[in-house]
Structure formats: C-alpha cells, structure tokens
Amino acid sequence: MRILLASSEVFPFSKTGGLADMVGALAKTLCHLGHEVGIISPLYAGIKEGNPSLELLSVELQISLGYSLIPGGVWYLRGSAGERLYFLQNDHFFNRPNYYAEQGQDYPDNDARFIFFSKAVAHLAQNLEWKPEIMHVHDWQVGLVPLFIRDHLKRGLRGNHPATILTLHNLAYQGVFPESSYALTELPLEYFRFDSVEFYGQMNCLKSGIVFADLLTTVSPRYSREILSEEFGCGLEGALRMRQNQLTGILNGVDYSEWNTHKNKSLVAAYSLDDLRGKSANKLAVQAELELSVREDVPLFGIVSRLTDQKGVDICLGALEVMLEEDIQFALLGSGQPEFEASFLRLAAKHSKKVAIHIGYNQGLAHRIEAGSDFFLMPSRFEPCGLNQMYSLKYGTIPIVRAVGGLDDSIIDASDDKNHANGIKFDEYSVRALVESMRKALVIHADPERLSFYRRNGMGVNFDWEKTAKEYIRAYERAIDSIDLT
Ligand code: ADP
Ligand code: GLC
C-alpha cells in the first residue's frame, strides 16, 4: 500500500511528546511490513543542521493564504527503514525557538502557520508522483487536510485522490481560531457551518478533520469510547457521535529499538528479565546524577512528562506532600505550565536529597529515570494512550496509573487479573486515591518476591509496533472502501 503521513512532529527530528514517537514508529514499521511510506513535517530550526544528507527538491510550492502567495521549499531524506521524509520549509513560519508557543503563549500566527502546512500537505498528497492511496493525518495541525482534498475534487480539479484518515491523539488541543482566520483557507463559506468547520462562531481545525476524514482513529480503544461523552469530548462529543461508526481505537505500540534496556547508550548498565542486576546500577547512577541520596533500599518514584493539567499534576503534588513523610525518593523530568514547574521546584527545595526536579527536555535523562526508578507515576485526568507506562513496563519499573484511556488499556492491576498484575491502577481523581496507590507500592517494594513478580510480568509484556501497524493497515483498507466521492 502507498501511505502518506502528515504530522507536526516526527521522532527523531522533532518532538514535544508522544505524537512524535507514534508517527516515527508507525512509518518505520509500515516500511518494514513492505509498504511504501512518506511523512511530511515542518522543517523546524535545527533539523537541517542535524541532518546534512537532507536535499532540497526542485519543486517550490506557492501556497495561497488569502492575502498572498507564501513560498514553501521541500527538503527530502530517505529514513533508515526506507521511509520518504519530506520537510516543508518556510523560515518565517517554522525557523523559531519552539514549535507552537513561547513563554506559555501560543504563537499568534498559528492559524496561518498550520493552514499553510495543511495546504502544502494536501498539495503533495495530490501531486506526488508515487500517488499515495492513503493520507493519514495526525491532530489539529493537519485537521484541515481532508477537507482541502475533498473540496479540490468536488471542484473537479485534477489530482490524486487518497482516502483520508485522521488520528486523534488529544482532544484537548483543537486549533480553534477566530472566524476571520477562515479566510486564509480560501474554502467556500458553505463549510463554515455548525455541522462542519464552525465551532461556537470560531473555526475549529480538529472538528474539520472529524467531519471530513473518511475514517477516524484514536490511540487507544478506551479513549475512543470516552470521547463520545461530555466529560472527555472537549465539546466535540456531538461531532464524534455523528461519526461513531467510522471511529476506531488502536493502542499505540512501543519502538523497542529505541526503548530497551539491553542495548541503550543512555544507560550505565544493561539488564533484562533474566538478569536484573543492571537495574540497580542504573538506580544508583541516576540518584547520583540527580543528587539524591545514593541508596539501593529506598523506593524511588519517577515522572517524565509535560507538566499540564492533563497529567494530574495537582493530585501528584498533593500526594507527594503526604508521602514525602515516608522514606521515599521522587525524581521528575518535565516542563510545561510555569506554576507547576514552580511548585515542583519548591518541593525540591523543601526536601533536598529526597526530591530531584529537572525542568527541561532531555531524551537521555528520560531513559535513565525510566530505568532507575522503582515506580512510575501517571495520575492523568485523561490519557489518550500514554507511552511512558508502556516504556516503564519494559524497564521493570512499576507504573502507578489512573484507569483512563490507554493507561487502563495497557496496565493490569491485581484486581483485574491477580496472576498477570504489572501495575497499580486507581479510579478516583483525588489525592487520597493516589496516596493509597503509592502506599500499595511501598508494600510491594518491601516484599522482594512481589516486587520481582510485578517486574517480571511487566517486562514480559510486548507492545510490538508490528501488531499495531497491521491494525492501521486494516483501517486503511476500510478507509479506501468507504471513500466518499460525493
Ligand atoms: P504526551 O504525548 O501526552 O506528552 P506520552 O506518554 O504519550 O504523553 O508521551 C510522552 C513522550 O514524551 C515520552 O516519550 C516521554 O519520554 C517524552 N517526554 C515528555 N517530557 C519529556 C522531557 N521533559 N524530556 C524528555 N522526554 C520527555
Ligand atoms: C498525545 C496523548 C498521549 C499519547 C500521544 C501519542 O500526546 O496525550 O496520551 O500517547 O499523543 O499518541
């Protein structure tokens, strides 16, 4: 099959969260399965410098954005698995310190930036000479692509016609802009209606994708059900219910060539299910690196996360206040909302040697915290899939998660299945429930046999991407069958 993916992030070229991991791994795996795969992403600052083999293609795009023609260069690279990577260049839009925001403020021209990107994606989907049969777009940044393609065909214009799929990684981000931004799309006004792009008087890029893609997927089965409710639908539950029959949930996989403990340059010692000694070495090393007391016996709880409301930061801070009275340690790597960063830093100042907070983004340290911790906290309010809990399992680090979205789909609590328990799950979004789970963790930690039982169960689980990619192939086949030519 010929498949084109479009995403505002792709690992290892750009990443702020799991979206990048998912898209990079899906593309690679589809290639390994023998498909022809392309990916389009913006050329952000640093990508050209970090990849000297990128070549500039001779096509220069001229994208019309209502007021003027905006040029777009296309840089090209063959990925390690044979995937075709296309990076869209426009330095004014993408050569900036960050991808979406600075100092907590979204870039004020995010409408123009991602309408430009979406138009370029639609253009390539329709004009690449290898004629993709599938256009698979991810999240709001490319939510308008299915409509651009559909409108183009409706107007009888020439071009390849791929089936379109939208994957919803996170309903909390929708790309909502004032009505005036709609002019940048140059789409007819007939689409600016409550049953298509319009959302309470504004334009909504994600809603456009939900309405016009041939098929919709989410990144876990449970999240695909949750988002039909008011609690999780972020205002789009009505639009989603209308397309319920075209919506399916596919749990993300894990790229074990990146996330493993036997061949990993970021770790000080290798370890495996059969020999866990290396795990202790990693614990002592990360304690030293983060200036915690270096002690094998103390339970170490870890977090690597964006610090946003989604991630349950408030109950986490509350639970730590209580739990830090015990003999435990806590290590966090993350960045995000300034008030959350400040609260964690205050906690570290109050509990030096017990709490280590590293504000920033650091791929190597993310691996070392995963490997060195005994427990990994993910008390999310909602979690479309979540990858860290699955990485934790492979690293022999027991996840403590709230039973939502992909966390519920991927972690087994003793109350679900006593023989295969690999983590601790709780339902209620409260400090009390999280404290209770952390106390259960202490009981497990104090009993070497139970600790090793949980670790072994977790390390034995396999979230292989191959299985996930095959589910996407089935979804692509379904999208081709259901393509709407009207
Ligand atoms: P989300 O996409 O909602 O942020 P996921 O659990 O799906 O959550 O994925 C998060 C990804 O981002 C993981 O690969 C995690 O290791 C990584 N990550 C998050 N914050 C940081 C950070 N500060 N430094 C390094 N990696 C991070
Ligand atoms: C989003 C979600 C996260 C998911 C990731 C990759 O960022 O918040 O739960 O794992 O996308 O699909």
Q: Which atom of ligand 2 is nearest to the CA of 387?
A: 10
pLDDT of residue 485: 62
Residue 157: pLDDT band with limits 50, 70, 90: confident
pLDDT in tens, 220-265: 999 999 999 999 999 999 999 999 999 999 999 999 999 999 999 9
Ligand 2 pocket mutation pick from 14, 138, 169 by most atoms within 8 angstroms of CB? 169
pLDDT in tens, 185-231: 999 999 999 999 999 999 999 999 999 999 999 999 999 999 999 99
The CATH code of the domain at 277-463 is 3.40.50.2000
Q: Which atom of ligand 1 is nearest to the CA of 22?
A: 7
> Any idea which residue has 């939208």 for tokens?
166
The ranges of the chain annotated as CATH 3.40.50.2000 are 2-253+466-481, 277-463
Q: Measure 277 CA to ligand 2 centroid, in angstroms.
A: 32
In this prediction, residues 9-15 reach a mean pLDDT of 97
pTM of the model: 0.96
Of 90, 64, 65, 63, nearest to 75 by C-alpha is 90
Residue nearest to atom 20 of ligand 1 (CA): 305
- Residue 229 identity: S
Asked if residue 189 lies in contact with residue 179, where contact means CB atoms within 8 angstroms, the answer is no
pLDDT of residue 103: 83
The 3-state DSSP class for residue 268 equals coil
Ligand 1 pocket mutation pick from 259, 305, 407 by most atoms within 8 angstroms of CB? 305
Q: Give CA–CA dist 136/169, Å, rounded.
A: 13
- Residues 54-85 as b/e (b if ≥16 CB within 10 A, e otherwise) read beeeeeebebebeeeebebebbebebebebbb
pLDDT of residue 486: 60
CA dihedral 224, 228, 234, 238 (to 10 degrees): 130
Q: Is residue 309 in contact with ligand 2, taking CB distance under 6 Å?
A: no
Q: Measure 304 CA to ligand 1 centroid, in angstroms.
A: 6
Q: Which atom of ligand 2 is nearest to the CA of 17?
A: 7
Tokens found for residue 344: 């964690």
Asked if residue 209 lies in contact with residue 247, where contact means CB atoms within 8 angstroms, the answer is no
| 255: region left, alpha or beta (phi > 0 left; psi from -120 to 50 alpha) | beta
Q: Measure 327 CA to ligand 1 centroid, in angstroms.
A: 28
Q: Measure 292 CA to ligand 1 centroid, in angstroms.
A: 23
Q: Which atom of ligand 1 is nearest to the CA of 169?
A: 2
Q: Measure 81 CA to ligand 2 centroid, in angstroms.
A: 23
Q: Is residue 221 in contact with ligand 1, taking CB distance under 6 Å?
A: no
In this prediction, residues 331-357 reach a mean pLDDT of 96
In this prediction, residues 424-437 reach a mean pLDDT of 98
Q: Give CA–CA dist 452/458, Å, rounded.
A: 10
- Cβ-defined contacts of 346-350 (< 8 Å, 24+): 347/317, 347/320, 347/321
pLDDT over 90, % of the chain: 95
Q: Measure 260 CA to ligand 2 centroid, in angstroms.
A: 20
Asked if residue 450 lies in contact with residue 456, where contact means CB atoms within 8 angstroms, the answer is no
> Any idea which residue has 């994600």 for tokens?
206
In this prediction, residues 130-153 reach a mean pLDDT of 97
pLDDT of residue 101: 94
Q: Give CA–CA dist 460/467, Å, rounded.
A: 16
Q: Is residue 219 in contact with ligand 2, taking CB distance under 6 Å?
A: yes
- CATH architecture assigned to 2-253+466-481: 3-Layer(aba) Sandwich (3.40)
Q: Give CA–CA dist 311/198, Å, rounded.
A: 29
Asked if residue 3 lies in contact with residue 35, where contact means CB atoms within 8 angstroms, the answer is yes
